Amino acid sequence: MIDAPGKKILLVVACALVDSDGRILLAQRPEGKSLAGLWEFPGGKVEPGETPEETLIRELDEELGIRTKVACLAPLTFASHTYDDFHLLMPLYVCRRYEGMAHGREGQALKWVRSKSLRDYPMPPADEPLIPFLMDLL
Ligand code: C5P
């Protein structure tokens, strides 16, 4: 049971996209969005009828021009964080096999970051607890 009485649950899915040097892609939330300026693992809201993997495949293409498939998405852990307006559940997948060069198709800044440097980038509070899992992995 999630102890967030009266709050809606928002299901977002996120991805640690890993390059051949073992660096992880962070995307900066753009002006005009909530938590603007903070760095996050790319992803987005799970739409009705989608599996989290389908959401990630769609979002990585829409946001970054990256193409991947379900077999290349490995679940690692998930974030569970109560915001003022909702409770966020956010599975984190790791993707090492994909096609395309990531570019911010929605104007967002991108950075490839070593796991030990992830803490140098201010993140939404839901994303920060995910860092140790990536430091263990990479
Ligand atoms: O990206 P989007 O604005 O659709 O995400 C909805 C909400 O989920 C954000 O306002 C933010 O509070 C939360 N979120 C997060 N970490 C992410 C993505 C979204 O905390 N990586």
- Top mutation candidate among 60, 88, 127 for ligand 1, by most atoms within 8 Å of CB: 88
pLDDT digits (tens, 9 = 90+) for 62-105: 999 999 999 999 999 999 999 999 999 999 999 999 999 999 99
- Distance, CA 21 to ligand 1 centroid (Å)? 27
**12 ligand 1 Cβ < 6 A:** yes
pLDDT digits (tens, 9 = 90+) for 6-65: 899 999 999 999 999 999 999 999 999 999 999 999 999 999 999 999 999 999 999 999
Q: What is the pLDDT of residue 4?
A: 79
* Binding-site residue ranges for Mg(2+): 43, 63
Neighbours of 27 (CB within 10 A): 22
Distance 97 CA to ligand 1 centre (A): 24
Q: State residue 5's pLDDT score.
A: 80
Which architecture does CATH list for 2-115? Alpha-Beta Complex (3.90)
Q: How far apart are CA 67 and CA 56, in angstroms?
A: 10
Q: Give the pLDDT score at 97.
A: 98
Structure-block tokens of residue 86: 């909702």
Domain ranges for the chain: 2-115
**Burial profile 48-85: b = 16 or more Cβ within 10 angstroms, e = fewer:** eebebbebbbebbeebbebebeeebbeebbbbebeeee
What pLDDT was estimated at residue 11?
98
